[in-house]
Amino acid sequence: MMFNCFRVILVFFLVACLVLSCFALTGSWKNEEYLTGTFLINFHLNRLDLRQIINSSIGGNNKFKREDNFFKFNKREDTVPTGTTTTDSPIPSNAQNWINAATSLINDPNLVSQFDSVTSSLGVSVPTSVPTDNINGYYTTISAAIADLLNNVTPQELGIADVYSTSYWGYCRGFFQNNGTSPTQVFDNSLGRFIDENFDNSNVNYTWCSPPTPGFFFDPFEIIKSELNNTLQGISLDSQSTVINQLSQQYLSEIEILINNLTPEDLNLPGNLQNDLKLLNNITKASFALLLVTICLSFIAIVIQFMGCCCSPNNCCLSVLNFIFQLLIFIIAIISAGLVTGAFIFVRRKVNDEIGDFGIKSFLSINFYAFIWSASMAALLVVIFSLLGHCCGMFGSGRRKYRQVSAYEHKEPM
- With contact defined as beta carbons under 8 Å apart, do 17 and 379 qualify? yes
Output Rg (C-alpha) for the chain, integer angstroms: 34
Q: What is the mean pLDDT of residues 281-286?
A: 95
Q: What's the confidence (pLDDT) of residue 237?
A: 87
In-domain check, residue 410: no
Three-state DSSP at 182 gives coil
Q: What's the confidence (pLDDT) of residue 215?
A: 86
Taking alpha carbons only, the member of 157, 339, 327, 334 closest to residue 241 is 157
In-domain check, residue 334: yes
Is pLDDT of 71 > 50?
Answer: no
In-domain check, residue 371: yes
Q: How far is CA 363 from the centre of its chain?
A: 12
- Kindly indicate the confidence band of residue 192, based on its pLDDT and cuts at 50, 70 and 90: low
Distance CA 298, CA 314 (A): 25
In-domain check, residue 356: yes
Report DSSP state, residue 195: E
Give the CA angle between residues 201, 50, 39 to the nearest 5°: 30
Distance CA 177, CA 202 (A): 10
Q: What is the pLDDT of residues 73-128, one digit of tens each?
A: 443 333 333 344 434 444 444 545 545 555 554 445 454 455 455 445 555 444 44
Q: What is the pLDDT of residues 405-414, one digit of tens each?
A: 444 455 555 5
Global pTM exceeds 0.85? no
Look over the chain and give the mean of its residue pLDDT values, rounded to a whole number.
76
Distance CA 183, CA 102 (A): 53
Lowest mean pLDDT among 64-78, 111-125, 209-223, 363-377: 64-78
Give the CA angle between residues 263, 239, 196 to the nearest 5°: 80
Surface-to-core class of residue 414, CB atoms within 10 Å of its CB (0-12 exposed, 13-18 middle, 19+ buried): exposed
Is pLDDT of 385 > 70?
Answer: yes
Lowest mean pLDDT among 77-86, 307-316, 367-376: 77-86
In-domain check, residue 318: yes
Consecutive H or E run containing 109 = none
Q: Tell which wins on pLDDT, 325 or 397.
A: 325
Q: Tell which wins on pLDDT, 10 or 138.
A: 10
Is pLDDT of 288 > 90?
Answer: yes
In-domain check, residue 163: no
When divided into structural domains, the chain yields a total of 1
Q: What's the confidence (pLDDT) of residue 341?
A: 97
- With contact defined as beta carbons under 8 Å apart, do 72 and 64 qualify? yes
Is pLDDT of 336 > 90?
Answer: yes
Question: What are the percentages of helix, strand and coil residues in the chain, rounded to 5?
Answer: 50, 10, 40
Dihedral sign of CA atoms 354, 360, 363, 368 in order: negative
Is pLDDT of 48 > 80?
Answer: yes
Taking alpha carbons only, the member of 135, 15, 12 closest to residue 73 is 135
Is pLDDT of 279 > 90?
Answer: yes
- With contact defined as beta carbons under 8 Å apart, do 165 and 172 qualify? yes
Is pLDDT of 60 > 80?
Answer: no
- Kindly indicate the confidence band of residue 342, based on its pLDDT and cuts at 50, 70 and 90: very high
In-domain check, residue 255: no
Q: What is the mean pLDDT of residues 324-330?
A: 91
Q: What is the mean pLDDT of residues 37-63?
A: 84
Q: What's the confidence (pLDDT) of residue 74?
A: 41
Q: What is the pLDDT of residues 262-277, one digit of tens each?
A: 998 889 888 888 889 9
Q: What's the confidence (pLDDT) of residue 375?
A: 97
Is pLDDT of 129 > 70?
Answer: no
In-domain check, residue 327: yes
Please state, as a whole number, how many other Cβ atoms lie within 10 Å of the Cβ of residue 154: 15
Q: Which domain, by its residues, includes 308?
A: 2-30+275-391
- With contact defined as beta carbons under 8 Å apart, do 209 and 163 qualify? no
- Kindly indicate the confidence band of residue 15, based on its pLDDT and cuts at 50, 70 and 90: very high
Q: What is the pLDDT of residues 162-189, one digit of tens each?
A: 999 999 999 999 988 764 444 444 545 5
Q: What is the pLDDT of residues 33-44, one digit of tens each?
A: 899 999 999 999
- Kindly indicate the confidence band of residue 289, based on its pLDDT and cuts at 50, 70 and 90: very high
Lowest mean pLDDT among 35-39, 66-70, 217-221: 66-70
